[in-house]
Structure 1
Amino acid sequence: MKDLENILELARSVGWGATDILSSYYHQTDDKLEVQYKQNEPVTIADVNVNNYILENLQAALGKENFAYISEETYQGEQVQQEWVWIIDPLDGTRDFIEKTGEYAIHIALVQGTRPVLAVVAVPEAEKLYYAIKGGGAFVETRERKTLPLQVSSRERIEDLTLVVSRSHRNERLNYLLQHLPCQNHKAVGSVGGKIAAIVEQRADIYISLSGKSAPKDWDIAAPELILTEAGGEFTHFDGTPLQYNTGDVNQWGGLLASNGQYHEVLCREAEKILAEF
Protein backbone atom coordinates (compact mmCIF):
# COMPACT_ATOMS: atom_id res chain seq x y z
CA MET A 1 0.00 0.00 0.00
CA LYS A 2 1.57 3.27 -1.09
CA ASP A 3 1.87 6.07 1.41
CA LEU A 4 -1.29 8.21 1.59
CA GLU A 5 0.72 11.43 1.17
CA ASN A 6 2.03 10.16 -2.18
CA ILE A 7 -1.46 9.10 -3.21
CA LEU A 8 -2.81 12.52 -2.23
CA GLU A 9 -0.18 14.17 -4.43
CA LEU A 10 -1.39 12.02 -7.31
CA ALA A 11 -5.05 12.80 -6.59
CA ARG A 12 -4.36 16.54 -6.45
CA SER A 13 -2.53 16.39 -9.77
CA VAL A 14 -5.42 14.46 -11.31
CA GLY A 15 -7.85 16.96 -9.79
CA TRP A 16 -6.09 19.90 -11.45
CA GLY A 17 -5.95 18.03 -14.77
CA ALA A 18 -9.66 17.28 -14.54
CA THR A 19 -10.25 20.96 -13.72
CA ASP A 20 -8.55 22.01 -16.96
CA ILE A 21 -10.68 19.63 -19.04
CA LEU A 22 -13.98 20.63 -17.41
CA SER A 23 -13.16 24.32 -17.60
CA SER A 24 -12.38 24.06 -21.31
CA TYR A 25 -15.83 22.55 -21.95
CA TYR A 26 -17.47 25.15 -19.73
CA HIS A 27 -15.87 28.05 -21.60
CA GLN A 28 -16.10 26.67 -25.15
CA THR A 29 -17.45 29.27 -27.55
CA ASP A 30 -20.22 27.20 -29.10
CA ASP A 31 -22.79 26.77 -26.37
CA LYS A 32 -24.21 23.53 -27.77
CA LEU A 33 -23.24 21.09 -25.04
CA GLU A 34 -24.98 17.83 -25.85
CA VAL A 35 -27.04 16.73 -22.86
CA GLN A 36 -28.38 13.22 -22.30
CA TYR A 37 -30.37 11.93 -19.35
CA LYS A 38 -29.60 8.94 -17.13
CA GLN A 39 -32.25 8.19 -14.50
CA ASN A 40 -33.60 11.74 -14.92
CA GLU A 41 -30.18 13.27 -14.23
CA PRO A 42 -28.35 15.20 -16.98
CA VAL A 43 -25.07 13.84 -18.37
CA THR A 44 -22.80 15.66 -20.82
CA ILE A 45 -19.75 14.72 -22.88
CA ALA A 46 -17.77 16.69 -20.29
CA ASP A 47 -18.85 14.27 -17.52
CA VAL A 48 -17.80 11.29 -19.60
CA ASN A 49 -14.43 12.62 -20.75
CA VAL A 50 -13.41 13.89 -17.31
CA ASN A 51 -14.49 10.57 -15.81
CA ASN A 52 -12.27 8.72 -18.28
CA TYR A 53 -9.35 11.03 -17.56
CA ILE A 54 -9.59 10.51 -13.78
CA LEU A 55 -9.96 6.73 -14.00
CA GLU A 56 -7.17 6.31 -16.57
CA ASN A 57 -4.69 8.34 -14.53
CA LEU A 58 -5.49 6.75 -11.16
CA GLN A 59 -5.46 3.24 -12.62
CA ALA A 60 -2.22 3.85 -14.53
CA ALA A 61 -0.49 4.86 -11.30
CA LEU A 62 -2.19 2.52 -8.82
CA GLY A 63 -3.59 -0.41 -10.81
CA LYS A 64 -6.75 -2.37 -10.10
CA GLU A 65 -5.43 -5.10 -7.82
CA ASN A 66 -5.46 -3.22 -4.52
CA PHE A 67 -7.92 -0.51 -5.47
CA ALA A 68 -11.49 -0.58 -6.75
CA TYR A 69 -13.15 2.34 -8.51
CA ILE A 70 -16.75 3.51 -8.13
CA SER A 71 -17.68 6.38 -10.42
CA GLU A 72 -21.00 8.05 -11.16
CA GLU A 73 -20.51 7.46 -14.89
CA THR A 74 -19.48 3.79 -14.71
CA TYR A 75 -21.31 2.42 -11.65
CA GLN A 76 -23.33 -0.73 -12.41
CA GLY A 77 -24.85 -1.42 -9.00
CA GLU A 78 -22.11 -3.63 -7.62
CA GLN A 79 -20.59 -3.58 -4.15
CA VAL A 80 -16.85 -3.96 -4.49
CA GLN A 81 -14.88 -6.20 -2.16
CA GLN A 82 -11.51 -4.43 -2.00
CA GLU A 83 -10.64 -2.62 1.21
CA TRP A 84 -9.56 0.50 -0.71
CA VAL A 85 -12.13 2.08 -3.03
CA TRP A 86 -11.96 5.28 -5.06
CA ILE A 87 -15.35 7.05 -5.18
CA ILE A 88 -15.47 9.61 -7.98
CA ASP A 89 -17.84 12.25 -9.29
CA PRO A 90 -16.28 13.82 -12.39
CA LEU A 91 -18.89 16.61 -12.45
CA ASP A 92 -20.94 17.35 -9.35
CA GLY A 93 -23.51 20.00 -10.17
CA THR A 94 -24.17 19.11 -13.80
CA ARG A 95 -27.25 21.35 -13.91
CA ASP A 96 -25.16 24.29 -12.69
CA PHE A 97 -22.56 23.41 -15.32
CA ILE A 98 -25.20 23.40 -18.07
CA GLU A 99 -26.90 26.56 -16.79
CA LYS A 100 -23.53 28.35 -16.45
CA THR A 101 -23.82 29.31 -12.78
CA GLY A 102 -20.14 28.37 -12.33
CA GLU A 103 -20.99 26.32 -9.25
CA TYR A 104 -19.82 22.85 -10.23
CA ALA A 105 -17.09 20.66 -8.75
CA ILE A 106 -15.02 17.48 -9.10
CA HIS A 107 -15.05 14.96 -6.24
CA ILE A 108 -12.35 12.33 -5.71
CA ALA A 109 -12.38 10.29 -2.47
CA LEU A 110 -10.46 7.25 -1.30
CA VAL A 111 -12.47 5.07 1.08
CA GLN A 112 -11.01 2.40 3.35
CA GLY A 113 -13.74 -0.05 4.28
CA THR A 114 -16.78 2.22 4.50
CA ARG A 115 -15.14 5.51 5.55
CA PRO A 116 -13.17 8.15 3.58
CA VAL A 117 -9.47 8.59 4.35
CA LEU A 118 -8.43 10.92 1.52
CA ALA A 119 -10.38 13.54 -0.41
CA VAL A 120 -10.03 16.08 -3.18
CA VAL A 121 -12.73 18.56 -4.22
CA ALA A 122 -11.84 20.84 -7.12
CA VAL A 123 -13.96 23.92 -7.92
CA PRO A 124 -12.82 24.94 -11.41
CA GLU A 125 -14.41 28.39 -11.67
CA ALA A 126 -12.91 29.43 -8.32
CA GLU A 127 -9.58 27.91 -9.41
CA LYS A 128 -9.35 26.20 -6.03
CA LEU A 129 -8.69 22.64 -4.95
CA TYR A 130 -9.64 21.45 -1.45
CA TYR A 131 -7.99 18.37 0.03
CA ALA A 132 -7.67 16.33 3.20
CA ILE A 133 -6.22 13.15 4.65
CA LYS A 134 -7.91 11.56 7.66
CA GLY A 135 -6.32 13.01 10.78
CA GLY A 136 -4.22 15.54 8.86
CA GLY A 137 -6.46 18.59 8.62
CA ALA A 138 -8.05 20.17 5.54
CA PHE A 139 -6.44 22.60 3.10
CA VAL A 140 -7.20 24.64 0.01
CA GLU A 141 -4.70 25.36 -2.73
CA THR A 142 -4.86 27.85 -5.57
CA ARG A 143 -3.75 27.47 -9.17
CA GLU A 144 -0.38 28.94 -8.11
CA ARG A 145 -0.12 26.16 -5.49
CA LYS A 146 -0.50 28.57 -2.60
CA THR A 147 -1.89 26.50 0.28
CA LEU A 148 -3.97 27.58 3.27
CA PRO A 149 -5.37 25.51 6.18
CA LEU A 150 -9.15 25.41 6.57
CA GLN A 151 -11.17 25.91 9.74
CA VAL A 152 -14.95 26.12 10.08
CA SER A 153 -16.71 29.14 11.57
CA SER A 154 -17.74 29.85 15.13
CA ARG A 155 -20.97 31.81 15.71
CA GLU A 156 -22.38 32.91 19.06
CA ARG A 157 -26.06 32.30 18.34
CA ILE A 158 -27.83 29.52 16.47
CA GLU A 159 -29.92 32.22 14.72
CA ASP A 160 -26.73 33.62 13.15
CA LEU A 161 -25.93 30.42 11.27
CA THR A 162 -26.26 30.46 7.47
CA LEU A 163 -27.61 27.48 5.52
CA VAL A 164 -26.40 26.64 2.03
CA VAL A 165 -29.29 25.28 -0.01
CA SER A 166 -29.82 23.77 -3.45
CA ARG A 167 -31.54 25.53 -6.29
CA SER A 168 -32.81 22.36 -7.96
CA HIS A 169 -32.96 19.46 -5.46
CA ARG A 170 -35.96 20.64 -3.45
CA ASN A 171 -39.22 19.09 -2.27
CA GLU A 172 -42.07 20.04 0.07
CA ARG A 173 -40.60 18.29 3.11
CA LEU A 174 -37.24 20.00 2.70
CA ASN A 175 -38.87 23.40 2.16
CA TYR A 176 -41.00 22.88 5.29
CA LEU A 177 -37.93 21.93 7.30
CA LEU A 178 -35.91 24.92 6.10
CA GLN A 179 -38.77 27.30 6.90
CA HIS A 180 -39.04 26.08 10.50
CA LEU A 181 -35.41 25.84 11.60
CA PRO A 182 -34.18 28.51 14.03
CA CYS A 183 -31.60 29.76 11.51
CA GLN A 184 -33.19 31.56 8.57
CA ASN A 185 -30.16 32.94 6.69
CA HIS A 186 -30.09 31.03 3.38
CA LYS A 187 -27.52 31.06 0.58
CA ALA A 188 -28.08 29.15 -2.69
CA VAL A 189 -24.98 27.29 -3.88
CA GLY A 190 -24.71 24.57 -6.51
CA SER A 191 -22.84 21.26 -6.06
CA VAL A 192 -22.36 19.55 -2.71
CA GLY A 193 -18.65 20.24 -3.08
CA GLY A 194 -19.40 23.94 -3.52
CA LYS A 195 -21.68 23.93 -0.47
CA ILE A 196 -19.02 22.33 1.74
CA ALA A 197 -16.42 24.74 0.33
CA ALA A 198 -18.66 27.59 1.51
CA ILE A 199 -18.75 26.08 5.03
CA VAL A 200 -15.00 25.42 5.34
CA GLU A 201 -14.30 28.97 4.07
CA GLN A 202 -16.74 30.35 6.71
CA ARG A 203 -19.14 31.81 4.13
CA ALA A 204 -21.84 29.47 5.49
CA ASP A 205 -22.33 27.07 8.39
CA ILE A 206 -24.91 24.37 7.60
CA TYR A 207 -26.00 22.14 4.74
CA ILE A 208 -28.99 19.79 4.93
CA SER A 209 -29.77 16.93 2.56
CA LEU A 210 -33.18 15.27 2.74
CA SER A 211 -33.90 12.39 0.39
CA GLY A 212 -37.23 12.25 -1.41
CA LYS A 213 -37.88 9.99 -4.38
CA SER A 214 -34.14 9.95 -4.86
CA ALA A 215 -31.16 10.53 -2.60
CA PRO A 216 -27.62 11.88 -2.92
CA LYS A 217 -25.13 9.19 -3.84
CA ASP A 218 -21.82 8.13 -2.32
CA TRP A 219 -19.92 10.16 -4.93
CA ASP A 220 -21.83 13.33 -4.01
CA ILE A 221 -20.87 13.14 -0.35
CA ALA A 222 -17.68 11.14 0.37
CA ALA A 223 -15.03 13.70 -0.62
CA PRO A 224 -16.85 16.77 0.76
CA GLU A 225 -17.51 14.99 4.06
CA LEU A 226 -13.86 14.36 4.83
CA ILE A 227 -12.84 17.91 3.93
CA LEU A 228 -15.54 19.30 6.24
CA THR A 229 -14.75 17.03 9.19
CA GLU A 230 -11.00 17.63 8.87
CA ALA A 231 -11.74 21.38 8.96
CA GLY A 232 -13.49 20.86 12.32
CA GLY A 233 -17.06 20.36 11.14
CA GLU A 234 -19.48 17.45 11.42
CA PHE A 235 -21.46 15.49 8.82
CA THR A 236 -23.91 12.83 10.05
CA HIS A 237 -27.37 11.43 9.72
CA PHE A 238 -30.01 13.27 11.76
CA ASP A 239 -29.77 10.52 14.40
CA GLY A 240 -26.05 11.21 14.78
CA THR A 241 -24.80 8.03 13.09
CA PRO A 242 -21.82 8.38 10.74
CA LEU A 243 -22.21 8.11 6.98
CA GLN A 244 -20.98 4.92 5.33
CA TYR A 245 -19.86 4.27 1.77
CA ASN A 246 -19.56 1.22 -0.49
CA THR A 247 -22.24 -0.64 1.45
CA GLY A 248 -24.00 -2.08 -1.61
CA ASP A 249 -26.44 0.84 -1.79
CA VAL A 250 -24.88 4.06 -3.09
CA ASN A 251 -27.93 6.08 -2.02
CA GLN A 252 -27.56 8.17 1.13
CA TRP A 253 -31.16 7.95 2.31
CA GLY A 254 -32.83 10.00 5.02
CA GLY A 255 -31.75 13.28 6.55
CA LEU A 256 -28.12 14.35 6.55
CA LEU A 257 -26.71 17.38 8.33
CA ALA A 258 -23.35 19.00 7.60
CA SER A 259 -22.32 21.83 9.89
CA ASN A 260 -19.55 23.77 11.56
CA GLY A 261 -20.24 21.44 14.51
CA GLN A 262 -21.27 24.15 16.93
CA TYR A 263 -24.98 23.38 17.18
CA HIS A 264 -24.87 20.07 15.32
CA GLU A 265 -26.73 17.86 17.79
CA VAL A 266 -29.30 20.58 18.56
CA LEU A 267 -30.05 21.04 14.86
CA CYS A 268 -30.28 17.28 14.26
CA ARG A 269 -32.85 16.94 17.05
CA GLU A 270 -34.74 20.02 15.84
CA ALA A 271 -34.84 18.70 12.26
CA GLU A 272 -36.31 15.37 13.40
CA LYS A 273 -38.88 17.18 15.54
CA ILE A 274 -39.92 19.51 12.67
CA LEU A 275 -40.24 16.65 10.17
CA ALA A 276 -42.39 14.68 12.63
CA GLU A 277 -44.88 17.54 12.45
CA PHE A 278 -44.94 17.68 8.63
Structure 2
Amino acid sequence: MPPLSDILTLTLATAWGATDLLRAYYRGYSATGDVLELGVQTQSDGPVTAADLAVNHYILQHLQTHLPAAAFGYLTEESYKEQPHNQRFPQPWVWIIDPLDGTRDFIDRTGEYAIHIALVQNHRPVLAVLAVPEEDRVYYALRGHGAFVVDRQGNSQPVRVSSRSQVQTMALVVGRRIWGDRFKQLLAQFPVQRQVRASSIGYRIVKLLRHEADVYLSLSGRSAPKDWDMAAPDLILTEAGGKLTHADGSPLQYNRGDISQWGCLVGSNGTNHSYLCCAAADILTQV
Protein backbone atom coordinates (compact mmCIF):
# COMPACT_ATOMS: atom_id res chain seq x y z
CA MET A 1 0.00 0.00 0.00
CA PRO A 2 1.65 3.30 -1.06
CA PRO A 3 1.62 6.25 1.38
CA LEU A 4 -1.50 8.40 1.15
CA SER A 5 0.65 11.37 0.10
CA ASP A 6 1.82 9.39 -2.96
CA ILE A 7 -1.76 8.34 -3.72
CA LEU A 8 -2.79 12.00 -3.51
CA THR A 9 -0.11 12.93 -6.06
CA LEU A 10 -1.44 10.22 -8.37
CA THR A 11 -5.03 11.36 -7.84
CA LEU A 12 -4.21 14.98 -8.62
CA ALA A 13 -2.49 13.94 -11.85
CA THR A 14 -5.54 11.83 -12.69
CA ALA A 15 -7.86 14.76 -12.01
CA TRP A 16 -5.90 17.07 -14.31
CA GLY A 17 -5.97 14.48 -17.09
CA ALA A 18 -9.71 14.01 -16.59
CA THR A 19 -10.12 17.80 -16.64
CA ASP A 20 -8.43 18.01 -20.02
CA LEU A 21 -10.61 15.24 -21.40
CA LEU A 22 -13.85 16.81 -20.13
CA ARG A 23 -12.88 20.23 -21.46
CA ALA A 24 -12.26 18.68 -24.87
CA TYR A 25 -15.74 17.13 -24.90
CA TYR A 26 -17.21 20.39 -23.61
CA ARG A 27 -15.73 22.25 -26.57
CA GLY A 28 -16.52 19.48 -29.04
CA TYR A 29 -13.05 18.70 -30.34
CA SER A 30 -9.87 16.96 -29.19
CA ALA A 31 -6.36 18.41 -28.95
CA THR A 32 -5.71 17.03 -32.44
CA GLY A 33 -8.84 18.69 -33.84
CA ASP A 34 -11.04 15.58 -34.01
CA VAL A 35 -14.75 16.21 -33.47
CA LEU A 36 -16.07 14.79 -30.19
CA GLU A 37 -19.78 14.04 -30.10
CA LEU A 38 -21.60 14.01 -26.75
CA GLY A 39 -23.94 11.21 -27.80
CA VAL A 40 -26.48 11.98 -25.08
CA GLN A 41 -28.44 8.98 -23.79
CA THR A 42 -31.54 9.54 -21.64
CA GLN A 43 -31.76 7.06 -18.77
CA SER A 44 -34.18 6.68 -15.86
CA ASP A 45 -31.76 8.36 -13.42
CA GLY A 46 -30.65 11.14 -15.78
CA PRO A 47 -28.69 11.73 -18.97
CA VAL A 48 -25.38 10.04 -19.76
CA THR A 49 -22.94 11.30 -22.38
CA ALA A 50 -19.89 9.99 -24.14
CA ALA A 51 -17.92 12.37 -21.89
CA ASP A 52 -19.18 10.63 -18.71
CA LEU A 53 -18.11 7.26 -20.07
CA ALA A 54 -14.76 8.40 -21.48
CA VAL A 55 -13.71 10.17 -18.27
CA ASN A 56 -14.91 7.25 -16.14
CA HIS A 57 -12.72 4.91 -18.21
CA TYR A 58 -9.76 7.30 -18.02
CA ILE A 59 -9.91 7.67 -14.22
CA LEU A 60 -10.29 3.94 -13.58
CA GLN A 61 -7.50 3.03 -15.97
CA HIS A 62 -5.14 5.62 -14.51
CA LEU A 63 -5.72 4.57 -10.90
CA GLN A 64 -5.81 0.83 -11.53
CA THR A 65 -2.58 0.93 -13.52
CA HIS A 66 -0.65 2.39 -10.58
CA LEU A 67 -2.29 0.81 -7.52
CA PRO A 68 -2.37 -2.78 -6.20
CA ALA A 69 -5.62 -4.36 -7.36
CA ALA A 70 -6.40 -6.40 -4.24
CA ALA A 71 -6.44 -3.42 -1.86
CA PHE A 72 -8.94 -1.22 -3.71
CA GLY A 73 -12.58 -1.33 -4.70
CA TYR A 74 -14.07 1.08 -7.23
CA LEU A 75 -17.56 2.59 -7.01
CA THR A 76 -18.36 5.02 -9.81
CA GLU A 77 -21.56 6.52 -11.14
CA GLU A 78 -21.05 4.83 -14.49
CA SER A 79 -20.16 1.35 -13.21
CA TYR A 80 -22.21 0.78 -10.07
CA LYS A 81 -25.00 -0.99 -11.95
CA GLU A 82 -22.52 -3.75 -12.73
CA GLN A 83 -22.03 -4.44 -9.00
CA PRO A 84 -24.23 -6.83 -6.98
CA HIS A 85 -27.22 -4.87 -5.70
CA ASN A 86 -26.89 -3.35 -2.21
CA GLN A 87 -23.57 -5.01 -1.44
CA ARG A 88 -20.67 -3.05 0.01
CA PHE A 89 -17.16 -3.47 -1.32
CA PRO A 90 -15.07 -5.79 0.91
CA GLN A 91 -11.73 -4.14 0.11
CA PRO A 92 -10.13 -2.02 2.86
CA TRP A 93 -9.93 1.01 0.55
CA VAL A 94 -12.72 2.04 -1.83
CA TRP A 95 -12.59 4.72 -4.51
CA ILE A 96 -15.87 6.61 -4.95
CA ILE A 97 -15.89 8.52 -8.20
CA ASP A 98 -18.18 10.81 -10.15
CA PRO A 99 -16.48 11.40 -13.50
CA LEU A 100 -18.93 14.19 -14.36
CA ASP A 101 -20.89 15.82 -11.57
CA GLY A 102 -23.55 17.92 -13.28
CA THR A 103 -24.12 16.11 -16.58
CA ARG A 104 -27.20 18.20 -17.38
CA ASP A 105 -25.21 21.41 -16.87
CA PHE A 106 -22.42 20.00 -19.00
CA ILE A 107 -24.94 19.41 -21.80
CA ASP A 108 -26.46 22.87 -21.30
CA ARG A 109 -23.00 24.50 -21.28
CA THR A 110 -23.44 26.32 -17.96
CA GLY A 111 -19.81 25.63 -16.99
CA GLU A 112 -20.92 24.48 -13.53
CA TYR A 113 -19.74 20.88 -13.64
CA ALA A 114 -17.07 19.06 -11.65
CA ILE A 115 -15.12 15.83 -11.16
CA HIS A 116 -15.22 14.02 -7.81
CA ILE A 117 -12.65 11.45 -6.70
CA ALA A 118 -12.61 10.21 -3.09
CA LEU A 119 -10.87 7.38 -1.28
CA VAL A 120 -12.86 5.85 1.59
CA GLN A 121 -11.73 3.72 4.52
CA ASN A 122 -14.13 2.44 7.21
CA HIS A 123 -17.03 4.26 5.53
CA ARG A 124 -15.44 7.72 5.72
CA PRO A 125 -13.33 9.60 3.12
CA VAL A 126 -9.63 9.95 3.85
CA LEU A 127 -8.57 11.56 0.54
CA ALA A 128 -10.57 13.73 -1.83
CA VAL A 129 -10.13 15.67 -5.04
CA LEU A 130 -12.74 17.93 -6.63
CA ALA A 131 -11.84 19.41 -10.01
CA VAL A 132 -13.63 22.41 -11.53
CA PRO A 133 -12.56 22.16 -15.19
CA GLU A 134 -13.90 25.49 -16.47
CA GLU A 135 -11.94 27.33 -13.79
CA ASP A 136 -8.78 25.19 -14.19
CA ARG A 137 -8.70 24.60 -10.44
CA VAL A 138 -8.59 21.47 -8.31
CA TYR A 139 -9.57 21.34 -4.64
CA TYR A 140 -8.10 18.54 -2.55
CA ALA A 141 -7.77 17.26 1.00
CA LEU A 142 -6.20 14.55 3.11
CA ARG A 143 -7.94 13.73 6.38
CA GLY A 144 -6.32 15.66 9.19
CA HIS A 145 -4.17 17.80 6.88
CA GLY A 146 -6.51 20.59 5.74
CA ALA A 147 -7.98 21.52 2.37
CA PHE A 148 -6.23 23.22 -0.52
CA VAL A 149 -6.80 24.53 -4.03
CA VAL A 150 -4.22 24.25 -6.80
CA ASP A 151 -4.11 25.84 -10.25
CA ARG A 152 -2.67 24.62 -13.53
CA GLN A 153 0.74 26.15 -12.73
CA GLY A 154 0.96 24.14 -9.51
CA ASN A 155 0.31 27.07 -7.18
CA SER A 156 -1.38 25.64 -4.09
CA GLN A 157 -2.95 27.51 -1.20
CA PRO A 158 -5.00 26.54 1.87
CA VAL A 159 -8.78 26.84 1.76
CA ARG A 160 -10.97 27.79 4.72
CA VAL A 161 -14.71 28.37 4.89
CA SER A 162 -16.14 31.71 5.95
CA SER A 163 -16.39 32.74 9.59
CA ARG A 164 -19.81 34.37 9.26
CA SER A 165 -21.86 33.50 12.33
CA GLN A 166 -24.91 35.77 12.21
CA VAL A 167 -27.68 33.81 10.53
CA GLN A 168 -29.18 36.90 8.90
CA THR A 169 -25.91 37.57 7.05
CA MET A 170 -25.37 33.99 5.88
CA ALA A 171 -26.20 32.65 2.42
CA LEU A 172 -27.68 29.30 1.45
CA VAL A 173 -26.61 27.68 -1.82
CA VAL A 174 -29.34 25.83 -3.69
CA GLY A 175 -29.72 24.34 -7.14
CA ARG A 176 -30.88 26.32 -10.13
CA ARG A 177 -33.85 23.97 -10.29
CA ILE A 178 -35.63 23.20 -7.00
CA TRP A 179 -37.68 20.01 -6.91
CA GLY A 180 -40.32 18.83 -4.46
CA ASP A 181 -43.00 20.66 -2.48
CA ARG A 182 -41.56 19.50 0.85
CA PHE A 183 -38.13 20.88 0.03
CA LYS A 184 -39.68 24.17 -1.10
CA GLN A 185 -41.52 24.41 2.23
CA LEU A 186 -38.27 23.66 4.09
CA LEU A 187 -36.50 26.45 2.22
CA ALA A 188 -39.36 28.88 2.89
CA GLN A 189 -39.09 28.37 6.66
CA PHE A 190 -35.33 27.79 7.00
CA PRO A 191 -33.50 30.40 9.14
CA VAL A 192 -31.05 31.28 6.35
CA GLN A 193 -33.12 33.07 3.70
CA ARG A 194 -30.54 34.70 1.41
CA GLN A 195 -29.94 32.30 -1.47
CA VAL A 196 -27.29 31.88 -4.13
CA ARG A 197 -27.67 29.43 -7.00
CA ALA A 198 -25.32 26.80 -8.40
CA SER A 199 -25.91 23.68 -10.40
CA SER A 200 -23.90 20.56 -9.54
CA ILE A 201 -23.40 19.46 -5.94
CA GLY A 202 -19.64 19.86 -6.19
CA TYR A 203 -20.05 23.38 -7.50
CA ARG A 204 -22.38 24.22 -4.61
CA ILE A 205 -19.77 23.10 -2.08
CA VAL A 206 -17.18 25.19 -3.92
CA LYS A 207 -19.43 28.18 -3.22
CA LEU A 208 -18.86 27.55 0.49
CA LEU A 209 -15.11 27.17 -0.04
CA ARG A 210 -15.05 30.54 -1.84
CA HIS A 211 -17.17 32.30 0.82
CA GLU A 212 -19.96 32.93 -1.69
CA ALA A 213 -22.25 30.85 0.52
CA ASP A 214 -22.21 29.50 4.06
CA VAL A 215 -24.83 26.75 4.07
CA TYR A 216 -25.76 23.81 1.83
CA LEU A 217 -29.05 21.96 2.19
CA SER A 218 -30.58 18.97 0.42
CA LEU A 219 -33.62 16.78 0.97
CA SER A 220 -34.23 13.43 -0.66
CA GLY A 221 -37.54 12.70 -2.30
CA ARG A 222 -38.10 9.95 -4.83
CA SER A 223 -34.32 9.93 -5.21
CA ALA A 224 -31.40 11.10 -3.12
CA PRO A 225 -27.79 12.23 -3.54
CA LYS A 226 -25.49 9.29 -4.12
CA ASP A 227 -22.19 8.36 -2.50
CA TRP A 228 -20.27 9.74 -5.47
CA ASP A 229 -22.08 13.09 -5.19
CA MET A 230 -21.06 13.60 -1.57
CA ALA A 231 -17.83 11.75 -0.64
CA ALA A 232 -15.25 14.13 -2.13
CA PRO A 233 -17.11 17.37 -1.21
CA ASP A 234 -17.65 15.99 2.31
CA LEU A 235 -13.96 15.64 3.16
CA ILE A 236 -12.89 18.86 1.45
CA LEU A 237 -15.57 20.91 3.21
CA THR A 238 -14.75 19.29 6.56
CA GLU A 239 -11.01 19.84 6.18
CA ALA A 240 -11.70 23.46 5.24
CA GLY A 241 -13.32 23.95 8.65
CA GLY A 242 -16.92 23.26 7.70
CA LYS A 243 -19.33 20.46 8.50
CA LEU A 244 -21.54 18.14 6.47
CA THR A 245 -23.97 15.85 8.29
CA HIS A 246 -27.46 14.49 8.31
CA ALA A 247 -29.97 16.77 10.00
CA ASP A 248 -29.68 14.64 13.16
CA GLY A 249 -25.98 15.58 13.29
CA SER A 250 -24.65 12.15 12.31
CA PRO A 251 -21.83 11.98 9.74
CA LEU A 252 -22.43 10.63 6.27
CA GLN A 253 -21.31 7.01 5.78
CA TYR A 254 -20.05 5.61 2.48
CA ASN A 255 -19.71 2.13 0.96
CA ARG A 256 -22.63 0.82 3.03
CA GLY A 257 -24.26 -1.10 0.19
CA ASP A 258 -27.05 1.43 -0.32
CA ILE A 259 -25.50 4.15 -2.49
CA SER A 260 -28.18 6.75 -1.66
CA GLN A 261 -27.80 9.38 1.07
CA TRP A 262 -31.41 9.56 2.22
CA GLY A 263 -32.98 12.26 4.34
CA CYS A 264 -31.94 15.85 4.93
CA LEU A 265 -28.27 16.79 4.56
CA VAL A 266 -26.87 19.98 6.04
CA GLY A 267 -23.50 21.47 5.11
CA SER A 268 -22.19 24.66 6.66
CA ASN A 269 -19.19 26.73 7.63
CA GLY A 270 -19.63 25.20 11.08
CA THR A 271 -20.47 28.31 13.07
CA ASN A 272 -24.16 27.46 13.58
CA HIS A 273 -24.24 23.88 12.40
CA SER A 274 -26.12 22.31 15.31
CA TYR A 275 -28.70 25.10 15.28
CA LEU A 276 -29.26 24.77 11.53
CA CYS A 277 -29.59 20.98 11.79
CA CYS A 278 -32.16 21.31 14.58
CA ALA A 279 -34.05 23.96 12.61
CA ALA A 280 -34.23 21.75 9.52
CA ALA A 281 -35.32 18.72 11.55
CA ASP A 282 -38.02 20.72 13.35
CA ILE A 283 -39.39 22.17 10.11
CA LEU A 284 -39.53 18.72 8.52
CA THR A 285 -41.71 17.40 11.33
CA GLN A 286 -44.31 20.00 10.37
CA VAL A 287 -44.31 19.90 6.57
TM-score of the superposed pair, with normalisation by structure 1: 0.97
Preserved contact between residue 178 and residue 184 of structure 2 (Cα < 8 Å): no
Query: 1:241 maps to which residue?
Result: 250
> Aligned partners of 1:262, 1:31: CA distance in 2, in Å?
46
> Aligned partners of 2:230, 2:165: CA distance in 1, in Å?
28
**Residue 114 in structure 1 maps to residue 123 in structure 2:** yes
Query: 1:42 maps to which residue?
Result: 47
Query: 1:260 maps to which residue?
Result: 269
> Aligned partners of 1:24, 1:158: CA distance in 2, in Å?
41
Query: 1:200 maps to which residue?
Result: 209
Paired residue for 1:74, among 65, 69, 79? 79
The AA in structure 1 aligned to 2:38 is: L
> Aligned partners of 2:178, 2:121: CA distance in 1, in Å?
29
Query: 2:8 maps to which residue?
Result: 8
**Residue 126 in structure 1 maps to residue 135 in structure 2:** yes
Deviations along 1:94-143, one digit per CA (max 9) or x if unpaired, are: 11101111000000000002000000000000111000000000000011
- Measure how far apart 1:32 and its partner are: 5.8
Paired residue for 1:217, among 217, 226, 236? 226
Identity over the aligned pairs, expressed in percent?
53
Residue pairs, 1:70-219, within 5 angstroms: 70-76=75-81, 77=85, 78-168=87-177, 170-219=179-228
Q: Secondary structure at the match of 2:64?
A: helix
Query: 2:236 maps to which residue?
Result: 227
**Residue 52 in structure 1 maps to residue 52 in structure 2:** no
Deviations along 1:146-166, one digit per CA (max 9) or x if unpaired, are: 111001101141111111101
Q: Secondary structure at the match of 1:65?
A: helix
Query: 1:28 maps to which residue?
Result: 28
- Measure how far apart 1:63 and its partner are: 3.1
Preserved contact between residue 28 and residue 37 of structure 2 (Cα < 8 Å): no
The AA in structure 2 aligned to 1:97 is: F
> Aligned partners of 2:180, 2:248: CA distance in 1, in Å?
21
Deviations along 1:183-242, one digit per CA (max 9) or x if unpaired, are: 111111111111111101111111111000000000000000000000000000000011
Question: Which ranges of 4 or more aligned residues in structure 1 deviate by more than 3 Å?
Answer: 29-32
> Aligned partners of 1:178, 1:274: CA distance in 2, in Å?
9
The AA in structure 2 aligned to 1:58 is: L
> Aligned partners of 1:148, 1:169: CA distance in 2, in Å?
33
Which ranges in structure 1 are unaligned for 5 or more consecutive residues?
A: none
Paired residue for 2:259, among 250, 254, 273? 250
CA RMSD of aligned residues (A): 1.3
Which ranges in structure 2 are unaligned for 5 or more consecutive residues?
A: 30-34
Q: Secondary structure at the match of 1:243?
A: coil
